[in-house]
Amino acid sequence: MNSYRAAVLVVASALLALSASEASACSCKEVSTKESFASSDLVVRGRMKLVTYGVEMPGGGSDGETIRMTRGEFEIQKVLKGTFKGKNLSMYTGSGMGDCGRLGEFIASAYNYSDKKFVVEFGLSKAEHAGETLYFTSICDYIKGPKDGQQ
C-alpha cells in the first residue's frame, strides 16, 4: 500500500510541475487576494472528494468541437460568498496545455481528502447552460490552501 501512495504522490507531483509550466502560457491580471475573492460569484470552503480528468463539457465549443475539462466533486463545509444549496458541488477547471486550469490543486486536494484538516477554499465563476448552472475556477481566481503546517 505504501508503494501505491508513493506512486500516486510522484504522479501528482509530476502533474503539478507540468501544469505549472503549461500555465505559463496563461496570464492573469495582478490583483490582491481581497479583489479576487470579491470578483468570485461563489466562494466555498471544503474538501475535494474526487477528480475526473477529460470530462466532456455540456454543449461543447461554439464551433461544435468537443471541450474536455477536469471536474472536481467538492464537499462543502461552508459557503463564504454567494449562495449554494447542498453539500456537494461539481466544479470545473482546465485540463492543462496552458488553459489556466487548476489541475494540480484539484489532484492535491483529492489526494489529501482523508485528512479532515486539509481544507481548501475555491473562488468560482458561474455560467448558465441549458438550464443548468456550472461552476468554474482557474489560476486567475481566488484560492486559499490548507492552514500553515499542513502538507
**pLDDT, tens digit (0-9, with 9 covering 90-100), for 36-82:** 999 999 999 999 999 999 998 866 667 777 888 999 999 999 999 99
Q: Sorting pLDDT into bands at 50, 70 and 90, what band is 18?
A: very low
Taking 50 as the threshold, does the pLDDT of residue 19 lie above it?
Answer: no
Residue 93 inside a domain? The answer is yes
Of 21 and 30, the one with more pLDDT = 30
Residue 43 inside a domain? The answer is yes
The share of the chain scoring above pLDDT 90, in percent, equals 58
Residue 138 inside a domain? The answer is yes
d(CA 10, CA 22): 18
Q: Are 85 and 104 in contact (CB under 8 A)?
A: no
Taking 70 as the threshold, does the pLDDT of residue 9 lie above it?
Answer: no
Q: Which domain holds residue 15?
A: 2-144
Residue 149 inside a domain? The answer is no
- Total number of domains constituting the chain: 1
Residue 89 inside a domain? The answer is yes
Residue 83 inside a domain? The answer is yes
CA-to-CA separations, 103 to 18, 64, 99, 109, in angstroms, rounded: 10, 24, 10, 10
Reported as a single tens digit per residue, the pLDDT across 79-128 is: 999 999 999 999 999 987 778 999 999 999 999 999 998 999 999 999 98
Domain CATH for 39: 2.40.50.120
Residue 48 inside a domain? The answer is yes
Taking 50 as the threshold, does the pLDDT of residue 5 lie above it?
Answer: no
Residue 18 inside a domain? The answer is yes
**pTM of this prediction exceeds 0.85:** no
